[in-house]
Structure 1
Amino acid sequence: MTDRATTTALPTEPEGLERIGECRVLRNVAEQPGVETLEGRLVPLMGGIDIRSHLIVMHPGQWCYPHPHPTESLIYTISGRWVFCTTEDGEEVRTVIEAGDLFHFVPDVPTGFETPFEEPAVILILKGEPGTYAEMQQAMIGARDHLQEEADNGEVFSLAELPEDHPARTFARSVVSS
Structure 2
Amino acid sequence: MTLYVVKEECDFRYLGTSGELQFAVLLVAYGFICHAEVAVVHASLTRLALATSPATAFANLSLTLTVRNKNWAMSVRNTQAEPHEADYSFDDQRFKRVRLTDEGSTRPAGKTQANHLVSDADSAYVALGNAGVEFKEENKTGVFQVEVALSGEIRYEVHTSPKCKFLAICPLKLQLTPPGTPAVLFQKVKCKLAPPDKNCL
Q: TM over 0.5, yes or no?
A: no
Asked which structure has the greater RCO (Cα within 8 Å, sep 6+), the reply is 1
TM-score by length of 2: 0.24
